[in-house]
């Protein structure tokens, strides 16, 4: 018989689950858990400077490892500060377990100090959530939380633990087994057969890969399918890296900021094979006009995604890797010369224009210059805005989990803490965070965490002293009525970095920006790399919001 407090039990169960690093911030209602954590020889705690930072650090760890990771926050404001990071994890299907302290059970519902109904608040943004009512319940709740976070379509789970539950003694015979993911659903083999037949019979098929391919570890299978069946392959923002950019079958990212040819290829396709993607509006534009002549095969682990936006002719509910494995031996080898040479001609007529790509003082040039110094082992994170889209368009992604970005929620402030999380999980890699001056300021306090941990994170700040993407939209779609998108003041980011104890270089004043960049990227440890970008540079091509993908402007 074992006996311990609820707090100790949580720590033991996390250790047994394989958790080695937890990001968080303590406070009154979670102090028993912190006290228990201080006694762990196995789990390291990383003290964030804002709970949203802790949430994104857990996400960064989970995005590079594929395993659920953990963050801690106290009740009330600690818990509400986590909300954005949880919602972000939900929309990008990132496995995460958030554990929050709560006021004692007897005080719930009395408007006690730092009481908020974080359980109620997170119902719509978690995959599932728990309010724990006794220490004994933890024996079931903690493994369940991990099982749910990593089974099927991954997602965040919140466990709210009242302070008295953390202090309560619980006796039990044996620890529960660490959670494992649920078995994947059985495949509908009839549907697999018809999908194979449709692929064989199609004349102008396109393979459309989404984040599910990353989650399911199916990139290699997807590339094999493309090669075997001669499928031009497009990727969503979340799937960049699943097929290397320079693969001859890659037609790059689709959607709002795709190359023109990519959207034109989709327009002409007669069969769309959607794998682990969800027809998001940023990817498909006006749904009714997306791939107007195509039949659709849709493979997804989440049955509710099938037929949600576009009705599929063949819908396969299943794990993407399992489904592709079943599909491969049934699909004929096909060189598909006619279609592929047509795709190539569209590509050469409507290529991705990247003005300035050889000049490191331009936006595209800077992204290319960073890539030129690094190999594919580096991890690339971004914030949200124009800089994010330029990196998505220009960086040569070649492996899954190389690319961390806030896709579904589009959260400014994601980049720096997510990059810290990635570096915590994989300290030997170089982690680059491309950020914008607006986004950077949303979690700039995490520079203190970064300095303290001394991680190999390089922050490339593309500074246009504005909320560039907003400025762009106002210029293009609101009659140039620029409002609340240009900053009047401008902080000295180099001094800010210095103040946090982080090395900084300025490419603007460097006589040889390439050399300065290479040196900054190649020396170990955190560094801020500052580069000014003209505010008048816009992300092109662009599909106006609400328009069809073929109605691109610019580029």
Ligand X SMILES: Cc1ncc(C[n+]2csc(CCOP(=O)(O)OP(=O)(O)O)c2C)c(N)n1
Q: Which residues bind ligand X (CB under 6 A)?
A: 383-387, 410-413, 436-439, 462, 464, 466-470
Burial class (CB in 10 A: 0-12, 13-18, 19+), 150: buried
Integer Rg of the chain from CA:
24
Read off the DSSP letter of residue 32: H
Is 413 a binding residue for Mg ion by CB under 5 A? The answer is: no
CB of 104 or CB of 303, closer to other proteins? 303
CB of 437 or CB of 537, closer to Mg ion? 437
**Minimal distance in Å, beta carbon 86 to other proteins?**
15
Is 464 a binding residue for Mg ion by CB under 5 A? The answer is: yes
What's the CA gap between 107 and 14, in Å, rounded?
Answer: 27
Question: How is residue 140 written in tokens?
Answer: 């079931």
CB of 75 or CB of 466, closer to ligand X? 466
**Minimal distance in Å, beta carbon 288 to other proteins?**
11
CB of 140 or CB of 536, closer to ligand X? 536
Is 468 a binding residue for Mg ion by CB under 5 A? The answer is: yes
Q: Which does 545 bind (CB under 5 to 8 A by kind): ligand X, other proteins, Mg ion, none?
A: other proteins
- Phi/psi at 31 (5° precision): -65, -35
CB of 130 or CB of 390, closer to other proteins? 130
Beta carbons of 148 and 128 less than 8 angstroms apart? yes
**Minimal distance in Å, beta carbon 347 to Mg ion?**
31
Read off the DSSP letter of residue 548: B
**Minimal distance in Å, beta carbon 428 to ligand X?**
29
Beta carbons of 198 and 271 less than 8 angstroms apart? yes
What's the CA gap between 416 and 381, in Å, rounded?
Answer: 8
Contact residues toward other proteins (CB under 8 A) are: 119-120, 123-124, 127-131, 148, 281, 286, 302-304, 307-308, 477-478, 544-547
What's the CA gap between 30 and 306, in Å, rounded?
Answer: 41
x/- contact string, 360-389, with Mg ion (CB under 5 A)? Answer: ------------------------------
**Minimal distance in Å, beta carbon 469 to ligand X?**
4
Nearest to 232 by CA among 192, 199, 201: 199
What are the strands of the beta sheet with 314-317, ordered from one edge? 250-253, 233-235, 205-209, 271-275, 295-300, 314-317
Q: Which does 218 bind (CB under 5 to 8 A by kind): other proteins, Mg ion, ligand X, none?
A: none
**Minimal distance in Å, beta carbon 277 to ligand X?**
21
**Minimal distance in Å, beta carbon 257 to other proteins?**
16
Q: Which does 128 bind (CB under 5 to 8 A by kind): other proteins, Mg ion, ligand X, none?
A: other proteins
Q: Which does 547 bind (CB under 5 to 8 A by kind): other proteins, ligand X, Mg ion, none?
A: other proteins
What's the CA gap between 277 and 118, in Å, rounded?
Answer: 30
DSSP 445-473: THHHHHHHHT--EEEEEEE-SB-HHHHHH
**Minimal distance in Å, beta carbon 267 to other proteins?**
19
Beta carbons of 424 and 57 less than 8 angstroms apart? yes
Q: Which does 477 bind (CB under 5 to 8 A by kind): ligand X, Mg ion, other proteins, none?
A: other proteins
Give SS3 for 226.
Answer: helix
Give SS3 for 538.
Answer: coil
What's the CA gap between 241 and 233, in Å, rounded?
Answer: 12
Q: Which does 410 bind (CB under 5 to 8 A by kind): ligand X, Mg ion, other proteins, none?
A: ligand X
Q: Which does 469 bind (CB under 5 to 8 A by kind): ligand X, Mg ion, other proteins, none?
A: ligand X
**Minimal distance in Å, beta carbon 473 to other proteins?**
9
Which residues touch 354 (CB under 8 Å, ≥6 apart)? 364, 368, 393, 394
What's the CA gap between 313 and 118, in Å, rounded?
Answer: 41
Q: Which does 28 bind (CB under 5 to 8 A by kind): other proteins, ligand X, Mg ion, none?
A: none
x/- contact string, 420-449, with Mg ion (CB under 5 A)? Answer: ----------------xxx-----------
What's the CA gap between 299 and 307, in Å, rounded?
Answer: 11
Enumerate binding residues for Mg ion (CB under 5 A). Answer: 436-438, 464, 468
């Amino acid at each position: 018989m074992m006996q311990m407090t609820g707090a100790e039990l949580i720590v033991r169960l996390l250790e047994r689950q394989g958790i080695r690093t937890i990001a968080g911030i303590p406070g009154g209602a979670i102090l028993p858990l912190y006290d228990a954590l201080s006694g762990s020889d196995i789990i390291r705690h990383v003290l964030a400077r804002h709970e949203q930072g802790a949430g994104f650090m857990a996400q960064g760890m989970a995005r590079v490892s594929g395993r659920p990771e953990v963050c801690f926050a106290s009740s009330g404001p600690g818990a509400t500060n986590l909300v954005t990071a949880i919602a972000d994890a939900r929309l990008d299907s990132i496995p995460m377990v958030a554990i929050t302290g709560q006021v004692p059970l007897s005080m719930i519902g009395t408007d006690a100090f730092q009481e908020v109904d974080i359980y109620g608040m997170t119902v719509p943004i978690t995959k599932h959530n728990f309010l724990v009512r006794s220490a004994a319940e933890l024996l079931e709740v903690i493994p369940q939380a991990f099982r749910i976070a990593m089974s099927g379509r991954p997602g965040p789970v919140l466990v709210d633990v009242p302070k008295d539950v953390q202090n309560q003694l619980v006796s039990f015979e044996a620890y529960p087994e660490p959670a494992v993911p649920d078995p994947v659903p059985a495949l509908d083999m009839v549907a697999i057969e018809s999908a194979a037949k449709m692929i064989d019979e199609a004349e102008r098929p396109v393979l459309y890969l989404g984040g599910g391919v990353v989650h399911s570890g199916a990139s290699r299978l997807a590339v094999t399918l493309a090669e075997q069946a001669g499928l031009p392959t497009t990727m969503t923002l979340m799937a960049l890296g699943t097929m290397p950019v320079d693969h001859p079958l890659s037609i790059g990212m689709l959607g709002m900021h795709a190359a023109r040819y990519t959207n034109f290829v989709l327009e002409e396709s007669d069969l769309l094979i959607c794998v682990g993607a969800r027809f998001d509006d940023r990817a498909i534009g006006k749904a009714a006009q997306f791939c107007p002549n195509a039949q659709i095969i849709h493979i997804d682990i989440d049955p509710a995604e099938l037929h949600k936006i576009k009705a599929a002719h063949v819908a396969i509910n299943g794990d993407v890797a399992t489904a592709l494995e079943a599909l491969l031996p049934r699909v004929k080898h096909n060189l598909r010369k006619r279609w592929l040479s047509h795709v190539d001609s569209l590509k050469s007529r409507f290529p991705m224009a990247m003005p300035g790509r050889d000049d490191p003082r331009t936006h595209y040039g800077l992204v290319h210059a960073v890539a030129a110094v690094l190999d594919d082992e580096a991890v690339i994170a971004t914030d949200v805005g124009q800089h994010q889209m330029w990196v998505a368009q220009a960086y040569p992604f070649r492996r899954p989990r190389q690319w961390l970005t806030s896709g579904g929620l589009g959260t400014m402030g994601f980049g720096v803490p997510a990059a810290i999380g990635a570096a915590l999980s994989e300290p030997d890699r170089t982690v680059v965070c491309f950020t914008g001056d607006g986004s950077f300021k949303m979690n700039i306090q995490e520079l203190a965490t970064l300095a303290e941990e001394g991680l190999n994170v390089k922050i490339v700040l593309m500074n246009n002293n504005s909320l560039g993407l907003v400025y762009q939209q106002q210029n293009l779609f609101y009659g140039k009525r620029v409002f609340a998108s240009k900053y009047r003041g401008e902080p000295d980011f180099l001094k800010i970095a210095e103040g946090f104890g982080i090395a900084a270089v300025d490419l603007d004043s460097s006589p040889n920006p390439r050399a300065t960049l290479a040196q900054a990227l190649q020396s170990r440890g955190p560094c801020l790399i500052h580069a000014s970008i003209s505010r008048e540079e816009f992300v092109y091509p662009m599909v106006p919001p609400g328009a069809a993908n073929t109605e691109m402007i610019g580029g």
